[in-house]
Structure 1
Amino acid sequence: MSFSFKKIGPHVAVVFVFIVTALLYFSPVLSGKKMFQSDIQQYRGMAKEQMDFRAQTGEEPYWTDAAFGGMPTYQLGAKYPNNWIKSLDLGIRFLPRPADYLFLYFISFYILLLVLKLDWRYAALGALAFGFSSYLIIILGVGHNAKAHAIAYMPLVLSGILLTFRRNYIWGFILTTLAMALEIVANHVQMTYYLMLLVMVLGIAYLIDAIRKKELPHYFKSVGILMLAVVLAVGTNAASLMATSEYSSFSTRGKSELTITPEGSPKEDVAGLDKAYINQYSYGISETLDLFIAGLYGGSNSEPYNKDSEFANFLLKQGVPPAQIESVYGQFGLYYWGSQPGVSGPAYLGAIIIFLFVLGLFLVRGRLKWWLVGGTVLSLLLSYGSNLAWFTDLFIDYFPLYNKFRAVTSIQVIAELCVPVLAIFGLYKMLQLTEPAERKLIALKWTTGITAGLALIILLFKGSLFSFAGENDAYFIQNFGMEFMNAVKEDRKALLINDSIKTLVLVLLAAGLLWFYLKKKVSESQALIVLTLLIVFDLVQVDRRYVNAENFMAARLVEQPFQQSAADQQILQDTTRYRVYEQSIGLNGARTSYFHSSIGGYHGAKPGRLADLADFYLYQGKMAPLNILNVKYVITQNEEGEEQVQINPNANGNAWFVQNVKLVPNADTEILALENLNTLQTAVVDQKFENQLGSLIFPEDSLASISLVEHQPNYLKYKATTGAQRLAVFSEVYYPNGWNAYIDGNQVDYIKADYILRALMLPEGSHTIEFKFEPQVIETGSKISLASNIILILILLGSLFYSFRKRNQKVKTEA
C-alpha cells in the first residue's frame, strides 16, 4: 500500500497544485465574481429565449425565434438526450469558470507528457507552460470558451494515440475514445479540424519510422484501432454532430444557391467561405517573432494604461484633464501595428520556452522531434494566410472542409501545443545523464547564440528592422496630426525595447542556469525549480496585461449582460408577436435578441438565406426583408446618438393569404423578384414547388382570415377561415429539416415562398394550422449516442476485468 501511495502521491500533489494555481490566477471567482467575456455576453443574448423556455418547461426547444428571424439552437448550447459524455465533461470541469478551463489545460497536457514517459516534475512544468501561454489565456478573456474547451482536450487525444502506437492497444483505444468524445463535445469544429491536421503529421512521422524499423503490421493495426476509437467517439456525440451537419448546409458555411452578387455580377462558385473572409486575420510573417518577444508588434490594440507613456503625455499637453486621460487613452486602440485588423494580445509562448524549444532541436531525435517540428511549421505557414497566399490557397482549394473556417491565425494553437512539448523534452535531455556532456554543451552554446543573438539584434537594430507603422496610421495622422502619431510610435518602440530586454535577460538566465548545471554547480531539482519559477513569472506577467481582476464583475451583471433601454421598454409594451431590427447592430449583435424576437444576432454561421437578403436589400437600405419577416419595429439613432423607435407600417404580420403566385426558375430570380413586389398580394415561389400549388391565382375573399393564436419557440398555432382553396404565407423561416406542418391534426407538406418563408395550401373551410419543430435528426442521433455509450462502457468494464485477472495471474505465478 505504501508503494502505491508513493507512486500515486506526486500526481495527487500535482493535481492539487493545478487546482490551486487555476483558482489563484482567477482569484475573483472565489468571491463569487464572474468574468465579463464579450463573446459570452453575445451568446447570452442569443440563447436567452432558449434558456428561459428550458427553465419554464423543462423541455429543450431546439429552435429560437430570438435571432436571425429563427434558427435551430444546435450551436447555441442545445442539450441532447443520452449525451453522457457531456456529463463526464462537466465532472472534469468542476471548478468555477474560467478556472475550469485553465485546470483542463494543465491536467490534459500533464497526462500527455506522462504518456510520453517524462518524469512528473517535467510534466508539471510543461503543463504550467502550456496553460499559461498567452493565447490560451487571452481567448478566455474575450469569451472564446468553446475554442479553449476544444484546445484543452487536444493533448488528451494525442495521449491516447501515442499510447496505442506504444502497443498498449486496449487502454490506448479507451483513452482515445474518451478523449476524442470529449474533444467533440467541446463543439468547436475548427479546433478539432486543426487537431486532425496535427494527427496527420504525427501519422506520417510514425509511418516513416515504421517503414524504417519494418513494423508496418503494428502501425496499421494501431491505425485501425484508432479509427474504431474515433468512430465510437463520434457515435457518442451523434446527435450534436448530425444536427450541426444538417444546419451547416442551411447556414453561411454551406453552398449558396445564388449565382449572382447584389451588383448583378457572377458569384464565385464556392462551397464555403469567401477567401478574403477566411484570410481577414492573417498573421504577418515577421509577427512570428512575437512568440518570443511579447511586445514586438505593440502587443494588443488596447495595451494597459501607462501614465508615463508618450501618448499620455501628448494628451496632457493637448489640455486633456488628468482625470480623463486614462479614459481617452483607452478609446483609440492604437498600439498593435501588425498585419491583422486587430488583436487582443500576442500569441506569446515565453522566452525560456522558445529557448528550450531551440535546445530541443539540437538534443531531441527521432519521430517525436519530427512530428512536433512538422506540426509547428505547418501551423505557422497556414497562419500567414494571405501573406503566404499560395500555400493557404492550396488548403482552401483542395483540403476538404478547410474553406469552412475563418481567422487562419487560429491554427497557431498547434504551435502552442507542439512547442512546449519539444521544449520540455529539450530540457529533459539537458538535465539527464544519458546524453554526453560535450554534446549538451555544444547544443547550449548554439541555442544561446541563436536566441540571445536574435533578441540582441532586434534590440540594437530596431530602427532599421521595423517601421512601427500600422495600416490605420494614415487615418489618425489625417485627423489628429503627426505629433499624435509620433507619440504612439514612441510607445510602440518602448514596448519592443522593454520586452526585448526582458526576453534577453530571461534567455541568459536560463542559459546560465543550465551551464551551472553542466558544471555541477546546481542540481537537477534546483534547476527545475528555478526554471519553473522563471517560466511561470514570465508568462503570467504577460497574461496579466490582458486578463486580470479587471475582467471580473458581480455575477448579476454578467448573468444580465444587457439593460433595457427606453426603446426596449417602449417596444415591450406591445404583447403581440412581431420582430425587431436594430440598425446600429444589424446582423452582428445579440443585444436585441436578449429582449425581442430579432432578425439580428451574433454567430459565425448565420442562416444563409437571411444573410443573402441582408446583402441584396438591408445593406442597400431596402425594406423588403423587414416586411416579409414581420419586423414591426426598427430601432434607429438620431444625430445626437439617441435611440428612436420607428414603427414599420408595411410589416406583413404573422400570416396572410395571397391572391396570386409568381413562379420563378431559380434562386437568383426569386431573390430579385422581391424588390418591387407587393408581398401581401403576390408570393414568389420556385417552380420546383409547382406541383404542390394546384393554382397560381386565387379569388378575392374579403371574409378570409388567418391569425396566430399560440406561439412558443418550437410551436405555432393558427386559426384560418377561407371560402376557397388559398395559399397562406407565414412570416417564419423555411427550414424543412424539422418543422412539420399540420392541418386539423393531419401532417401536410409545405413549400418555400419569398426566398425565406414558409407557405401552405389551405383547403376551403375553417381550420387549425400547426407548425411543430420535431427534428428527426435529434431522435436518430440520440439513439446512436445511447448505443455508442453502452458499447464504450462495456469495453471499459471488460478491459478492467481483463487487467485485473491478468494481474492476479501474474501474482499467482510469482508466488
Structure 2
Amino acid sequence: MSFSFKRLLPHILVLIGFVVLSLAYFSPVLQGKKIYQSDIIHYIGMAQQQKEFAKAEGEETYWTNSAFGGMPTYQLGAKYPHNYIKKLDLTLRFLPRPADYLFLYFISFYILLLCLKVDFKLAALGALAFGFSTYLIIILGVGHNAKAHAIAYMPLVLAGIILTFRKKYILGFLLTTVALGLEIVTNHFQMTYYLMLLVIVLGIAYLVDAYRKKVLPHFFKSVGLLLIAAFLAVGLNATNILATQEYVKESTRGKSELTINPDGSAKEVTSGLSREYITEYSYGLLESFNLYIPKFMGGGNREDVGKDSETYKAYTNLGASPIEALEGSRNAPMYWGDQTIVEAPAYVGAVIIFLFVLGLFLVKGRLKWWLVGGTVLSWILSLGKNWFFVENAKPDSNPITNFFIDYIPLYDKFRAVSSIQVILELCIPILGIFALVRLFNDFQKDEEKLKALKYSVIVTAGLTLVFLLFKSFLFDFESFRDGDYIEAYGQPFIDAVIEDRKSLMTADTLRTLVLVLLSAGTVYFFIKKKLSETLTVVVFAVLLLFDLVSVDRQYVNNDNFTSALRVDKPYQATVADKEILKDKGHYRVLDMSSEGQSKPGRAAYFHNSLFGYHAAKLGRYNELMEFHVYKNNMNVLNMLNTKYIIAEEQGNIFPYTNTDANGNAWFVSKLKAVAGANQEIVALDSLDTKSHAVLENTVFNENNLKANYQLDSTASIQLKAFKPNYLKYESSNSNDGLAVFSEIYYNQGWNAYIDGKLTPHFRVNYVLRALEIPKGSHAIEFKFEPAVVETGSKVALASSAIFGILLLLGIFYEFKQRKAKA
C-alpha cells in the first residue's frame, strides 16, 4: 500500500498544483466574484424562460418562446433524463468557473503525456504550456465556455486512443469511452469535429507504422475496440445527439429551400452554410506569426498603448483633453490584419515553439509525423479563404478549403474556420515536450543534440532578426479600417497609429528573441552538464509561465470579474419593460432600443422576443427576419403577434402598443397556394395576414385543403392557457374553418389536439402553424412532445448500463492480472 501511495504522491502533488494555479490565475473567484463573459450574458437572457419554467414546474421544457419567436432548447442547455455522463462532467468541474476549465486543460493534457510515457515533471510542464496558451484563456474571457469545455477534453480522448494502440486494450477502451463521452457532452460539435480530423491523421500515422512493422492485426484490433468505444460514447449522449441531428436540419445549418436573396438576386445553394459565411473569419497568412510573436500584427482590435504612445499624442493634437486622449489610447486600433474582430492574438508561446522546432530535429517516428501533420492541416484549414500570394481573398480562393467544403462530410456545417487552430495549439506543446524527452535521454549523442540546437536557433532566432531588421521593407502596417479613421481624424492620426503598430511589433519581436535565446541557453547548459535535468525543467517552467501568463493577463485578468449578482442577473428592467410586463397575456416584443440591439439577449430575459442571440436559429425564421422583420414589414410583425415595440427617442425608452397585432390565433377566409418557398416568402410582403394565408402547393395538396373558407363575424378562437411547451385555445365557429396561430411551426415535436384527439396541423405564411377546425365549439391544444427525447433517454440508459458492466468486468480482470503477477 505504501509503495502504491509513493507512486501516486507525485501525481497528487501535481494535481494540487493545478488546482492552486487555476485558482491563482482566476483569484477573484475566491472572493465570490464571477467573470463577466459577454456570450454568457446573452445566453442567460436566452435561457431565462426555461430556467423559470423548471423552477416553477419541476420539469424541463424543450421549447422556449423567449427568442426568435420560439425555438427548441436543445442548444440552450436543455437537461435530459439518464444523462449520467453529464453528471460525471459536473463532478470533474468542481472548481468555480472559469477556474474549472483551466483545471481541465491542465489535468487532461497531463494524463495525455503520461499515457505517452512522459515523466510526470515534463508532463506537468506540458500541461502548463497547453493550459496557458493565449487562445484558450481568451475564449474564457469572452464566454466561449462550450468551446473551452470541448478543447479541455481533447487530450483525454487522445490519451485513451494512444493507450489502446499501446496494447493497453482494457484501460484504453474504458478511457476512450469516458473521454469521448465527456467530449460529446460539451455540446460543441465543431471542436469535436476538428478533434476527429486530428484522430484521422493520428490513425494514418499508426497505420503506416503498423504496416512497416508488420503488426496490422494489432492495429485493426485497436481500431475495432475504439469504434466500439465511440459507439458507446455516442450512446451515453444519445438524447443530445439525436435532438441536435433532428434540429440541425431545420436550423440555419441545414439546407435552405430558398434560391433567392432578400434583394431578389440568386442565392448560393448549399446543403449547409454558405461559403462566404464559413470563411468569414479566416486567419491571415502574416497573422500566423502571432503564434510566435504575440503582437506581430498589433494584438487585438482595441489595445492599451498608454500615455507615452504616438496615438495619445495624436489625440491631444486633435484637441482632446488628457482624459479623452488616455481613453482613446486605451482602445487604440492596433490590429492590422484582415479579420473583422480579433480580441487578442492566438499566441502559442515563443518558448514552446522553440522547443517544437527543436523537436522537429530530435524526435523521430510516427509521433512526430502525426503531430506535424495535425499542425500543418490545422494551419492550412485555418487560413479559410486566404491563400498564398492572394490579396483581398474571395471565399473560394483557397483550393484546400474548397475541397473540404465540397467533399468532406459535415465540414460545411461550421463557420469561423480560424478556430481549427486549436489543433495546432494541442500538437505543438506535445512535440515541444518530446524535444525535452529526447534531450534528457541517452539515445542520441551530445553532438547530435548540439546540432539540432544550432539549427533550431538559426530558424527561430533568425526569423525574429529578419523581422527586426527588415520590418519596414516587408510590411506597411496598414489596416483595411484605416480609411474610416482617416476620414474621421485625418492622415496624421493614422500615421501615429502605424508608428505604434511598429513599436508593438518591435517590442514583442525583441521579447520573443530574448525568450528563444534563454531557452536555447538552457538547453545548451544542460547538454554541457552545467544544469541538471530537474533544474532544466524548473527553468523552462519559469520561462513558460512568464512567457504565456504575461500575455494572457493583458487580455483576461481581475478586471474581467465583477459581483456575482451582476452576472447572475445581468439585465435590469427598464420603465418600458415594467410597463409591458403588466400585460400577463401571450404576445411578442420587438426591442428597437439601442441597448436591445447591442444586447440581443436582453429582451428575451423579460419577454417573448422576436430577436435573440444564437448561432443556430431556425432556418425559416432566420430567412423571415432577413426578408421582412429587419425591414419592419408590419404585415409580418402583426402575424407574429408583435403587440409591443420598445422604441427610443433622444435616449428615452418607451413601449409602443401595436393595436394591429393579429393576436394569438384567428380564422382566415382564403388560402393562396404558390409554387414554392421563394414565392411563399415574397408573398408575405403584401399579404393581408388577418384574413388570408399563403402556403406551398405541396402542403396544400397533401392536406386536401380548400382555397376558400366561409367566415362570419361570430367566429372566434381564444387562448385560454399557455406555457412554453403547451397552449390551449377554445374556438367557436358556425362553419368549418381554418385557424392560423401566431406560433412557430416545428413538426418535430409539436402536436395538435382537437377535443383531445390528435389532429394534423401544417405550415402557412412560411413559419406559422395552421389547423382545420370543424364547426361548433372545440378545445384545441398544442403540446410539445418531442419523441426524440424519450428515444434518446432510453438509449442513454442502456448505454450507461452496458458501460457500467464493462467497467466492472475490466476492473475485475485488471485486479486478477495484477494479483497473478504478484
Using the size of structure 1 for normalisation, the TM-score is: 0.98
CA contact (8 A) 1:654 1:731 kept: yes
Greater CA drift, 729-738 or 676-685? 676-685
1:538-591 Cα distance to aligned partner (Å, 9 max, x none): 100000000000000000001111222232223223222110112355698211
Question: Quick one: which of 630, 639, 643 aligns to 1:619?
Answer: 630
Q: What is aligned with 1:746?
A: 757
Q: Describe the superposition over 1:408-465 as per-residue Cα deviations: whole angstroms up to 9, x where unpaired.
A: 1000000000000000001221122222111000000110111111111111211112
Give the match for residue 588 of structure 2: 579
Counterparts of 2:426 and 2:64, CA distance in 1: 37
Which residue type is aligned with residue 567 of structure 1?
A: A
- Aligned 1:30-41 pairs, distance under 5 A: 30-41=30-41
Q: Give the corresponding residue for 1:547.
A: 556
Which of 672, 677, 684 pairs up with 1:662? Answer: 672
1:207-246 matches, cutoff 5 A: 207-246=207-246
Q: Spell out, residue by residue over 1:177-233, the C-alpha distance to the aligned partner (whole angstroms, 9 max, x if none).
A: 000000000000000000000001001111111111111111111111111110100
* Partner in structure 1 of residue 415 of structure 2: 406
- Aligned equivalent of 1:724, options 713, 716, 735: 735
Q: 1:325 is paired with a residue of what secondary structure? A: helix
Q: Flag the 1:586–1:270 CA change in 2: closer, same or farther, 3 A.
A: farther
Q: What does the per-residue CA deviation read over 1:292-347, in whole Å, with 9 as the maximum and x for residues that have no partner?
A: 1001001111223522222122223333232343433445x511111211211111
Would you say the 8 A contact 1:304–1:545 is kept in 2? no
Show the counterpart of 1:141. 141
Aligned equivalents of 1:425, 1:770: Cα separation in 2: 64
State the distance in 2 between where 1:612 and 1:108 align: 41
The one-letter code matched in structure 1 to 2:720 is V
CA distance in 2, matches of 1:771, 1:587: 34
**What percent identity do the matched residue pairs reach?**
57
Name the structure 1 match of 2:376.
377
Trace 1:115-194 onto structure 2 (pairs within 5 A).
115-194=115-194
User: What is the Cα deviation at residue 683 of structure 1?
Assistant: 1.1
2:688 matched to 1:688?
A: no
Runs of 4+ aligned residues of structure 1 deviating over 4 Å after TM superposition are 584-588
1:536 aligns with one of 532, 542, 545: 545
Question: Is the counterpart of residue 776 in structure 1 residue 782 in structure 2?
Answer: no
Distance across 1 between alignment mates of 2:336 and 2:774: 65
2:635/2:688 contact within 8 Å kept:
no
RMSD of equivalent CA atoms: 1.4
AA in 2 matched with 1:636:
A
Q: Distance in 1 between matches of 2:208 and 2:223?
A: 14
Report the counterpart of residue 706 of structure 1 in structure 2. 717
Residue identity opposite 1:436 in structure 2: K
Letter in 1 for 2:689: T
| Matches for 1:496-575 after TM superposition, within 5 Å | 496-575=505-584
Aligned to 1:260: 260
Q: What secondary structure does 2:10 align onto?
A: helix
Equivalent position of 2:657 in the other structure: 647
Query: How far apart, CA to CA, are the structure 1 residues paired with 2:580 and 2:699?
Result: 37
Structure 2 residue 804 is matched with structure 1 residue 793: yes
Alpha-carbon distance in 2 for matches of 1:768, 1:327 = 62
Counterpart Cα distance in 1 of 2:115 and 2:356? 20
Q: Which amino acid aligns with 2:426?
A: L
Q: Is the 8 A contact 2:54 2:61 kept in 1?
A: yes
Contact 1:134 1:539 in 2 (8 A): yes
Give the Cα–Cα distance (whole angstroms) in 2 for the partners of residues 298 and 569 of structure 1. 45
1:350 is aligned to 2:349: yes
What is the deviation of 1:693? 4.8
* Partner SS for 2:343: coil
Please name the residue that 1:757 is paired with. 768
SS of match in other structure, 2:781: strand
CA contact (8 A) 1:68 1:587 kept: no
SS of aligned partner of 1:461: helix
Matched, 1:337 2:346: no
Deviation at 1:524, TM superposition (A): 0.9
Is the aligned partner of 1:43 residue 2:43? yes
Q: 1:659-715: per-residue Cα shift (whole Å, max 9, x none)?
A: 111122321121121111111111112222335354321222211111111111111
Where 1:343 maps in the other structure, the secondary structure is coil
Partner of 1:684: helix, strand, or coil? Answer: strand
The structure-2 alpha-carbon separation of the partners of 1:586 and 1:307, relative to structure 1 and needing over 3 Å to count, comes to closer
Moved more, 91-100 or 250-259: 250-259
Mean alpha-carbon deviation: is it higher for 399-408 or for 667-676? Answer: 667-676
Contact 1:587 1:600 in 2 (8 A): no
* 2:251 match: 251
Q: For the residues of structure 1 that align with 2:712 and 2:635, how far apart are their CA atoms?
A: 25
Asked whether the 8 Å contact 2:298–2:504 carries over to 1, the reply is yes
Aligned counterparts of 2:350 and 2:699: Cα–Cα separation in 1? 64
Indicate how the Cα distance of structure 1 residues 481 and 694 shifts in structure 2: closer, same or farther if over 3 A, else same: closer
What pairs with 1:104-123 in structure 2 (closer than 5 Å)?
Answer: 104-123=104-123
Partner SS state of residue 327, structure 2: helix
Please state whether the residue corresponding to 1:387 is helix, strand or coil. coil
Q: Is the 8 A contact 1:587 1:601 kept in 2?
A: no
Could you tell me whether the CA contact under 8 Å between 2:711 and 2:735 is conserved in 1? no
Q: How does 1:21-32 map to 2 (within 5 A)?
A: 21-32=21-32
Contact 1:305/1:326 (8 A) holds in 2: no
Residue deviations 1:347-384, cap 9 Å, x none?
10111100000000000000000000000000000000
Change (3 A) 1:607 1:228: same
Residue 385 of structure 2 aligns to a residue whose secondary structure is helix
| Corresponding letter in the other structure for 2:341 | G
User: How far, CA to CA, are the matches of 1:759 and 1:326 in structure 2?
Assistant: 59
Residue 782 of structure 1: how far off its partner (Å): 0.3
Give the distance between the partners of 1:562 and 1:700, measured in 2 at CA.
Answer: 45
Which amino acid is the alignment partner of residue 367 of structure 2? L
- CA deviations 1:132-162 (Å, max 9, x no partner) are 0000000000000000000000000000100
Q: Distance in 1 between matches of 2:458 and 2:527?
A: 17
Identify which of 409, 419, 431 aligns with 2:428: 419
Q: Partner of 1:175: helix, strand, or coil?
A: helix
- The equivalent residue for 1:5 is 5
Q: 2-side partners of 1:608 and 1:518: how far apart?
A: 61
Q: Whole-Å Cα distance in 2 between the matches of residues 39 and 531 of structure 1? A: 35
Partner amino acid for 1:447?
S
Contact 1:626–1:651 (8 Å) recurs in 2: yes
Residues 1:440 and 2:449 are matched in the alignment: yes
Aligned to 1:92: 92
Could you tell me whether the CA contact under 8 Å between 2:85 and 2:182 is conserved in 1?
yes
> Which whole-Å CA distance do the structure 2 matches of 1:625 and 1:212 have between them?
66
Paired amino acid for 1:179: A
Match status 1:597 vs 2:596: no
The aligned residue for residue 321 of structure 1 is 321
Which amino acid counterpart does residue 501 of structure 1 have in structure 2? L
Q: Which residue identity does 2:417 align to in structure 1? A: V
Matches of 1:111 and 1:459, distance apart in 2: 39
Distance (Å, rounded) in 2 between the aligned partners of 1:772 and 1:275: 38
Q: Give the TM-score of the pair, scaled to structure 2.
A: 0.97
C-alpha separation between the residues in 1 aligned to 2:646 and 2:316? 38
Distance 2:781 2:438 in 1: 70
Q: In structure 2, give the amino acid aligned to 1:529.
A: V
Contact 2:304-2:329 at 8 Å conserved across structures: no
Gaps of at least 5 residues in structure 2 are: 388-397
User: Partners in 1 of 2:640 and 2:409 — Cα distance?
Assistant: 35
Preserved contact between residue 441 and residue 518 of structure 1 (Cα < 8 Å): yes
The aligned amino acid for 2:807 is L
Distance 1:146 1:623, change over 3 A: same
